[in-house]
Amino acid sequence: MIRNLLPAPAHLLGAVLLVAIVGCGNLTAGGATGEAYVVLSGDGGFTPAATSAVGPAPSSHSGSPEGEIEVELTLALVSEDGDLVPLTDSEVRVRVDLGGVRESEIADQVVPAARYIGLRLVFIEIEVEVDAGLIINGTPVTGAIDVELEDISLTFTKLLDLSIGDYDRVGLTVDLNAADWLQAVDPATASVDPQDFVDGVTVSVR
């Protein structure tokens, strides 16, 4: 009975200690990481849309619509291998002005230190309200503008060349460039083709 209370042999204690050390190491194991944050802007600076053979002349459009745009979206970085690294835990809803005066930070995440080649954007909802300043073919257009989503969401990827090193903090700007794609509004239906919206959105490193 007394022998059962004696300490375990030294070699067994050493084995237990080794397992404990290895186990603790696994808690902090992992590759290098950095941080990525994203800021959304309604319009970082108006540039007139390119003209086309079937489009209206530039003089028939305005360049500074006033109002607000509210979007619901998710974001993810695209790695060189094509893997998606989420920047949002769930859908983010945010409202900014069409003129780009007010920006909003919509994501801030720790990500693997790596090179990324794109930003995947998924828009679940896009609501535009124009108060003034939008003139199409000489006619002022105000009120709600519909960006026609053919499916339940609008998904696209903007190309990037972004390298995030260990402990780096890197910012991205998603510029909706509203003044550009609002030039494509159909006054009869107060709607915009989703491709015009996609073409107008830009992503840049801050």
pLDDT tens-digit map of 11-67:
444 444 333 333 443 322 469 999 999 999 999 764 444 333 333 333 334 458 999
What integer best gives the mean pLDDT of the chain? 83
* pLDDT digit string, tens, across residues 169-200: 999 999 999 999 999 999 999 999 999 999 99
Q: Which residues of 139-154 are buried (b: 16+ CB within 10 A; e: fewer)?
A: eebeeebebeeeeebb
**Residue 103 confidence (pLDDT) above 60:** yes
pLDDT at position 64 is: 83
pLDDT at position 136 is: 92
Q: Look up residue 154 and give its DSSP letter.
A: E
Alpha-helical (H) ranges within 103-158 are: none
- Residue 35, both tokens: 């941080």
Q: Label residue 93 by pLDDT band (50, 70, 90).
A: very high
Q: What is the pTM of this model?
A: 0.77
Q: Label residue 90 by pLDDT band (50, 70, 90).
A: very high
Please count the other Cβ atoms lying within 10 Å of the Cβ belonging to residue 125: 15
